């Protein structure tokens, strides 16, 4: 190229000037040698390193994908296990709630039965106490009515009724007549 530039500057007309691109042979040889050396360096040093890096990168990506797939499979298995445990826990909680409800119903029924039994016992005790008090009141009333009747009879009859057997017979007869008239009056 240098030769072509000098020839043009000198105004010489050369054969190579007829062809638009004619390389200078020493430059061509030098360019080919340098290209060969560069090709050899790239082919022996750079390309193997690039291939190794590419292989490593491909292996890392494929390994990463395999690891990701494995992790995804493990995550899916863990999710399935979690869901199974959650379903089992829900079933267990439901079972416990049902047992608690059944226990509460049983306890409620038992307490109700105990309360009814206690109520019946209290009512029976109260009735017995009322009956005992009634009997005591009847006995006390008989005694008082007997003494009052005896006093009244002594005043009416005019004789003394101090004999206990006689007094008791008069009182019993009087109370029997009184009860008989009370029963007849109610009907």
Q: What is the pLDDT of residues 112-135, one digit of tens each?
A: 999 999 999 999 999 999 999 988
Q: Tell me the average pLDDT across 42-58.
A: 92
Residue 23 is assigned to a structural domain of this protein: yes
Q: Is 185 within the bounds of a domain?
A: no
Tokens of 25: 């042979």
In a domain, 89, yes or no: yes
Asked whether the predicted pLDDT for residue 76 surpasses 80, the reply is yes
Evaluate whether residue 108 is within a structural domain. Answer: yes
Tell me, yes or no, whether 183 lies in a domain: no
Number of domains forming the structure of the chain: 1
Radius of gyration of the chain (CA): 67
| Highest mean pLDDT (candidates 8-22, 45-59, 154-168) | 45-59
Structural domain contains residue 83: yes
Domain range for 127 is: 2-131
Q: Does any domain span residue 141?
A: no
- Per the domain annotation, does 63 fall within a domain? yes
């Amino acid at each position: 190229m240098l030769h072509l530039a000098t020839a043009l500057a000198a105004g010489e007309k050369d054969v190579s000037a007829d062809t638009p691109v004619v390389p200078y042979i020493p430059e061509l040889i030098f360019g080919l040698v340098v290209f060969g050396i560069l090709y050899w360096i790239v082919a022996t040093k750079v390309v193997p390193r690039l291939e190794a890096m590419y292989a490593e990168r491909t292996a890392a990506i494929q390994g990463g994908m395999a690891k990701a797939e494995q992790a995804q499979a493990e995550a899916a298995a863990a999710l399935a296990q979690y869901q199974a445990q959650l379903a089992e826990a829900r079933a267990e909680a439901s079972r416990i709630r049902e047992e608690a409800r059944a226990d509460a119903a049983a306890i409620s029924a038992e307490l109700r039965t105990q309360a009814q039994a206690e109520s019946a016992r209290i009512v029976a005790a109260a009735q017995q106490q009322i009956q005992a008090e009634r009997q005591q009141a009847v006995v006390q009333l008989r005694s008082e009515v007997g003494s009052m009747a005896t006093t009244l009879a002594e005043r009416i009859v005019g004789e003394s009724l101090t004999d206990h057997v006689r007094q008791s017979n008069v009182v019993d007869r009087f109370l029997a007549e009184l009860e008989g008239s009370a029963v007849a009056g109610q009907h």
